[in-house]
Amino acid sequence: MNQQLTTTKKPDAHGPAPLSTRPGFGDWASKNRSILAPVGALIVMIIGFTIMSPEFLTVGNAVNILLDSSVLMILALASTIIILMGSIDLSIGSTLAICAFAGALLAQSTGDNNILLLVPIVGLICGLLNGLGVAFLGLPSFLVTLGSFFVYNGLADYFSGGQPVTLTSGGPLAWFSGTIGGVPVIALWAVVILVIVHLVFRYTRGGRYVYAIGGNEKTARLAGAPVRRVKVWAFAAAGTLAGIAALLQLAKLQSASPDMGAPYMLPAIAAVVMGGTPLTGGIGGALRTVIGVLVIAILSNGMVLAAIDPHLQDVVQGIVVVGAVAVTMQRRRADVVK
């Protein structure tokens, strides 16, 4: 109700200003609310954890958080592409697992340098299969990726015999380790990927198609957009990103283990929705996802420092995710009512 009133002020903000092209630009107030809610949650958490633990607000811990959130960041970006399109990809985490395994095994047989290219290609193939299933078999993405979630996890298990595979030499992974000016290189990679995904969304035809399909698939098709092809490539791109995330994870852990993808399945989707990209797609974007990722990363880091019982940490995380999603869903409803 108040939001409706404030809309009338909006024109001033735009007038002669350059065209803002973020699709789904809802009305001023509700848009702000969807950003303010997660940012507010972030600030509350930072203040809370600072009080609870003296170690929380230190440079060393900030580096830790960056290190911990980089892999999630890239996976969440992959999810963002899919969710913006109004689809969902449950197999992101297991794609990471199968890619990491492929990487660890391929490093032994073909040499370290090759995996820099091969691992993302494995991810691309995994995503491509998802995309073909969704676009050409006409199956819901939820179902296709639920199936591939088990397939990719199972394959990772099968090839590893259920055992972790360690990297014997860390050669090319030097690209992903260490720090530059105090910032972990892994985090820099995540930022580079973020910028690329953001630019693709904003400045390319494919990015625009993704938003259009999420907004109204039928209209997009009637206006001449190659809807099926876009879906296939979007899933392929998400798979490729999961492959890159696998490289980072390999560099961090120096080994691949069968269950390494599992912890990411929920956070990779939750981060996107918490950031303000609704599951119905069409609005939101890569930059929004950053906030969601930070909320999840800071929450788990802070709870460890505050010495909260590990079993309770899951409970808290679950509640925060649902609460944050509830906020964004409500915003979406307001859009529809209008």
Partner 1 sequence: MQSLDLAHANVPLLELRALTKEFGPVRALDGVSFSVRAGEVVGLIGENGAGKSTLLNIISGTENATSGRVVVRGREVAFENYHQASTNGVYRVFQELALLPNLTVWENLFFGHENLLTKGGVIQRGAAIRRAEAILERFDHGWIDVRQPVGLLSFAVQQVIEILRAFALSELLGQEHPIILLDEPTAGLSSDEIHFLAETIEKVKANSAIVFVSHRLTELLEWSDTIVVMKDGAVVAQAAANELSEDRLHLLMVGRARNDQFYRENLQREPEDELLLEIAGLGDGDAFRDVSFQVRAGEIVGVAGVLGSGKSELGRAIYGEWPTTEGVLHLKGKELPRSYSARYTSGQRVGYITPERKDDGLLDTFSVAENISFARIASQKGMFLDLGLEARQADEYVKKLSIKTAGIGAPITSLSGGNQQKALIARWLARGVDLLILDNPTRGVDAGAKEQVYELLREIASTGVGILLISDDLLEVIGLSNRVIVMRDGAISDLVSAPVDAKPSESALVSRMV
Paired tokens of 106: 């391929």
**Strand, coil or helix: 309:** coil
Rank residues 173 and 213 by Cβ distance to partner 1 and give the closer one.
213
In three-state secondary structure terms, 332 is helix
Reported as type and span, the H/E element at residue 166 is strand 165-166
- Selection from 15, 42, 106 nearest residue 291 by Cα: 42
Q: For the chain, what is the radius of gyration of the CA atoms? A: 20
- Which of 1, 5, 19, 180 lies at the binding interface for partner 1 (CB under 8 A)? 19
Q: What gap in Å lies between CA 74 and CA 69, rounded to an integer?
A: 9
| Contacting residue, 92, 220, 270, 295, with partner 1 by CB under 8 A | 220
Closest CB to partner 1 among residues 164, 206: 206
| 8 A C-beta contact, residue 104 and residue 256 | yes
Q: How far is the CB of 160 from partner 1 (least distance, A)?
A: 39
From 45-53, 160-168, 185-193, 201-209, span contacting partner 1 (CB under 8 A) = 201-209
**Residue 334 found at the interface with partner 1 (CB under 8 A):** no
Please report how close the Cβ of residue 252 comes to partner 1 at its closest, in angstroms: 33
Is residue 223 at the binding interface for partner 1, with CB under 8 A as the rule?
Answer: yes
Instruction: Compute the C-alpha angle 224/269/300, nearest 5°.
Output: 155
165 close to 45: Cβ distance less than 8 angstroms:
no
Specify the stretch interacting with partner 1 by CB under 8 A; choose among 51-59, 144-152, 199-207, 261-269: 199-207
Ramachandran sector of residue 327 (left: φ over 0; alpha: ψ -120 to 50; beta: rest): alpha
Rounded to a whole number of angstroms, the minimum distance from the CB of residue 228 to partner 1 is 10
Subset of residues 114 to 173 that bind partner 1, contact rule: CB under 8 A:
none
Q: Whose CA is closest to 298, among 65, 14, 55? A: 65
The answer to whether 208 contacts partner 1 (rule: CB under 8 A) is: yes
Nearer to partner 1, 38 or 282 (CB): 282
Residue 31, C-beta contacts closer than 8 angstroms, at least 6 positions apart:
25
DSSP 4-57: HHHHTTHHHHHTTSPPP--TT---HHHHHHHHHHHHHHHHHHHHHHHHH-TTTT
Quick one: which of 14, 140, 158, 318 contacts partner 1 (CB under 8 A)?
14
- Residue 226 in contact with partner 1, rule: CB under 8 A: yes
We find the least distance from the C-beta atom of residue 79 to partner 1, in angstroms, to be 18
216 touches partner 1 by CB under 8 A: yes
Give whichever of 54 and 138 is closer to partner 1, judged by the CB atom. Answer: 138
Q: Which stretch binds partner 1 (CB under 8 A): 45-53, 117-125, 203-211, 305-313?
A: 203-211
One of 117, 218, 307, 337 touching partner 1 (CB under 8 A): 218
β-bridge mates for residue 256, sequence order: 165
Q: Are strands 255-256 and 179-180 parallel, antiparallel or unpaired?
A: unpaired
Stretch that binds partner 1, among 15-23, 92-100, 268-276, 300-308 (CB under 8 A): 15-23
What distances in angstroms separate CA 327 from CA 26, 76, 316, 323, one per listed residue? 15, 19, 17, 7
Least distance from partner 1 to the Cβ atom of residue 278, Å: 10
258-317 residues near partner 1, rule: CB under 8 A: 282-283
CB of 213 to partner 1, least distance (A): 10
Do 81 and 230 touch, CB atoms closer than 8 A?
no
Q: 26 to 55, contacts with partner 1 by CB under 8 A?
A: 26-27
- Residues engaged in binding partner 1 (CB under 8 A): 7, 10-11, 14-15, 18-21, 23-27, 202-209, 211-212, 214-216, 218-226, 282-283, 338
